Amino acid sequence: MFSGSGVNRKLTVMADPIRVLLLTHNYPRYPGDPSGVFLSLLAGSLLPHGIKPHVLAPHDAGIADRERDGDIVVHRFRYADDAHETLAYRGNMHQMVLGSPGGAWRFRQFLSSFEKAAETIIAEERIDLVWAHWLVPAGIVLKRLSKHYRIPLLLSSHGTDIRLLSKYRLIAWPYFKPLVPRLAAWTVVSSFLKDQLTAIDSGLASALSVLSLPHDERLFFSDKSVQRDPHLIVAVTRFTDQKRVDKLVSAFKIVHEAYPAARLDLYGAGPLQAQVSDQIRNDDLTGAVRINAPVAQSDLARIYNIAAVVVLNSVNEGFGLALSEAMLCGAAVVGVRSGGIIDIITDGETGLLAPPDNPAELADCILRLLRDQSLRQRLASAGQASAMGRYASGPLAARYAELVRKAVASRRT
C-alpha cells in the first residue's frame, strides 16, 4: 500500500458510491514518485464526494499488478515482460513510438493490453463512468471503449497531448473528432490549451471546460519554521527542449555577474541534462549552479519554502505546476509569457513575466526580485493568496465531482 500524493485519504462511506475508472499512462509507482502525482491527489480528493475511483495505469518493473493508494484501487496492466515495459513513466513515449517500426508495434501491444484491462475492470467493478487523462494513449482507449459501452465518458487534457495533436492534426484530429460527441465533458487545465484546441476546430469552444487540477495545500504551504534563503533561485523542471533550461542557465550567468551571491538549484532529469552540465562548466558556474535529482512532493514543499525565487521559463507549457505550488509555499515566482503560465501569473501583481527565449529579460526579472526584498515579499504574498483562491483542493474537487455526478445522472435518466 502506498500514498502517491503523500497525503492520507479516507473514503467517506456512501450508500451507493459512483464507481469511476481513471485511465492514465502516468500514476505514482511508489511513495514520492512524481509520475502523475497530481492524478493521485485528484483521485483522493474525490473520495469525500461519494466517488470511488479505480485507476488503470501501465505496469512497470518491480511493482505489483494491483495495489492500493489509500482507498484507491490501482490496477497495473502488463504489456510486455519487465525488460520491455519501458513505454511509460520515462517521458519519451511518443519518441519511442515514432522512432522505429518496432516502436509502433510495441505501442499497438500496449493499447491492446490497456483496452482489455479496462474492459475487465468495467465488468468486474461495475464502473459507472470512464475518465481518460491525456488524449494519447488513454484517449485512444476511450475512443475504442466508446464503440462498445454506453456508460458516460470524460476526457481531461494536460498539455503534452494537445501539443502532439496540434503537430499531427491532419492525421490525429479526424481520428479523435468522432469521440467528442460521446463525451460528457472535456476539461483542459489552462485557457492556453483551450485556445490551442479551438484553433484546430472552432466548434470545440462550447465542448471545453477550463478547470485546473486541485493542489495539495496541506502539503504546499508557507512554513514559518523554514528560513528562506534570500539568494537562492530554484527551478523544478525537466531537461528537455520545451523547458529551456539552457536559457535559464544563460540568464543566471547574467544574474551571477551582477549579483555574485546568487545561486541556482535545478531539480529534474531528462535527455538534455548532459548538455546543460557542459554549459554550466563552460560558463564557469560550477560553484553557483547545482543539478539535483527529482524529489518527492514533501521535499518539494521544503525546497519551495527555502527559495527566494522560483522560475519556470518553459514554452507552450500546458499549465505550470511548479509555479502554482511555489506560490502556495510563499515563494516569489518568475515565468515567461507562454502557454498556461500566463493563467497563473499576473505580471507585476502575483509574480513577474519575461518574454520567452530571452535570457537578458529573464535575468532582469530575477535580479529585480533578488535586489528588492519589499517587491519580492509583496509579490509572494499576493501570489500565495491568488493560488489559495484558485487552486485549493476543496473547491476544485467539488467542481470535478459535480462533472462526474451530472454525467452519471444524465445517463441514468
Residues 189 and 251 in one domain: no
The pLDDT tens digits for 71-80 are: 999 999 999 9
265, part of any domain: yes
Residues 398 and 383 in one domain: no
Containing domain of residue 133, as a range?
A: 18-214+393-412
Give yes or no for residue 345 having a pLDDT over 60. yes
pLDDT of residue 3: 60
Confidence of residue 343 (pLDDT cuts 50, 70, 90): very high
Residues 404 and 387 in one domain: no
Torsion of CA 296, 302, 305, 307, to 10 degrees: -70
221, part of any domain: no
Please tell me the total count of domains within the chain.
Answer: 2
% of the chain exceeding 70 in pLDDT: 96
CATH of the domain at 355: 3.40.50.2000
Confidence of residue 92 (pLDDT cuts 50, 70, 90): confident
332, part of any domain: yes
222, part of any domain: no
Residues 148 and 241 in one domain: no
Residues 384 and 406 in one domain: no
3-state secondary structure 186-244: EEECCHHHHHHHHHHCHHHCCCEEECCCCECCCCCCCCCCCCCCCCEEEEECCCCCCCC
Helix (H, G, I), strand (E, B) or coil at 394: helix
The pLDDT tens digits for 350-371 are: 999 999 999 999 999 999 999 9
Residues 280 and 166 in one domain: no
pLDDT averaged over every residue in the chain: 94
236, part of any domain: yes
Q: How far is CA 401 from CA 24, 38, 212, 411, in A?
A: 18, 16, 13, 16
Confidence of residue 90 (pLDDT cuts 50, 70, 90): confident
pLDDT of residue 142: 98
Give yes or no for residue 315 having a pLDDT over 60. yes
Type and span of the H or E element at 338: none
Give yes or no for residue 259 having a pLDDT over 70. yes
What are the φ/ψ torsions at residue 214 (nearest 5 degrees)?
Answer: -65, 145
Give yes or no for residue 250 having a pLDDT over 50. yes
Give yes or no for residue 413 having a pLDDT over 70. no
56 strand-pairing partners: 23, 75
From CA 292, how far away is CA 295, in angstroms rounded? 8
Give yes or no for residue 267 having a pLDDT over 50. yes
Confidence of residue 81 (pLDDT cuts 50, 70, 90): very high
Mean pLDDT along residues 338-349: 97
Confidence of residue 2 (pLDDT cuts 50, 70, 90): low
Residues 36 and 146 in one domain: yes
pLDDT of residue 280: 98
Cell 503560465 sits on residue: 341
Contact 248, 311 (CB under 8 A): yes
9, part of any domain: no
68, part of any domain: yes
Residues 59 and 134 in one domain: yes
Residues 113 and 38 in one domain: yes
Residues 244 and 193 in one domain: no
The pLDDT tens digits for 4-49 are: 655 545 444 446 899 999 999 999 999 888 889 999 999 999 999 9
Give yes or no for residue 195 having a pLDDT over 70. yes
297, part of any domain: yes
Residues 243 and 310 in one domain: yes
Give yes or no for residue 214 having a pLDDT over 70. yes
Residues 199 and 310 in one domain: no
Shortest CA distance to 366 belongs to which of 309, 327, 289? 309
From CA 25, how far away is CA 100, in angstroms rounded? 20
Which segments of 206-345 does DSSP mark as H helices, in order?
Answer: 245-258, 273-282, 297-306, 321-328, 341-344
* More confidently predicted of 238 and 100: 238
Indicate yes or no: pTM above 0.85. Answer: yes
